[in-house]
Amino acid sequence: MGVNTLPTRIRRDDRDGQLVESLRLREASAAERLAATYLSRAYRLAAGITGNAEDAEEVVQDAFWSVIRKIDTFRGESAFGSCLYRVVANEALQRARRRPGQRTELPLAPGKKVASLGEIFLP
């Protein structure tokens, strides 16, 4: 009976574990599953930050490619979706900073504005 001398890390259950593994294995369907799962919410987040539909589309595309390229650096210490949304938000903020004077808030529905990021992530 051996003793494990390595520290153990408590891992959260991540519902995207299979998706992350597929991305790491460079499976052809993984990028499609990534888009099917996260595209809508990622776009709403990007549009809310950039205030521009065209910029939001480019932000999401750039963020998804970045996540796919750097998937091997994902350590699993937080949920994959949280990490992805952080990448989208950072990319959108960078894009918004490059275009001063543009609107930085976009309603999700007529008359409704986003009060917090939580509103964007909730279905």
pLDDT of residue 117: 45
In a domain, 74, yes or no: yes
In a domain, 44, yes or no: yes
pLDDT of residue 47: 94
pLDDT of residue 99: 75
Looking up residue 46, the CATH number of its domain turns out to be: 1.10.1740.10
pLDDT of residue 96: 85
| DSSP state letter for 9 | -
pLDDT of residue 30: 93
Give the torsion sign (CA, 99, 100, 106, 111). Answer: negative
In a domain, 7, yes or no: no
pLDDT of residue 111: 55
- Number of domains forming the structure of the chain: 1
Cβ-contact 18, 60 below 8 angstroms: no
Angle at 74 between CA 12 and CA 76, to 5 degrees: 5
The region that residue 7 occupies, defined by phi over 0 for left and psi between -120 and 50 for alpha, beta otherwise, is: beta
Residuewise pLDDT in 10s, the chain (123 residues): 444 443 333 345 568 899 999 999 999 899 999 999 999 999 999 999 998 899 999 999 999 999 999 999 998 888 999 999 999 999 999 998 887 665 545 555 555 554 444 444 444
In a domain, 22, yes or no: no
In a domain, 38, yes or no: yes
Cβ-contact 33, 22 below 8 angstroms: yes
In a domain, 49, yes or no: yes
Expressed as residue numbers, the domain containing 48 is 28-102+117-121
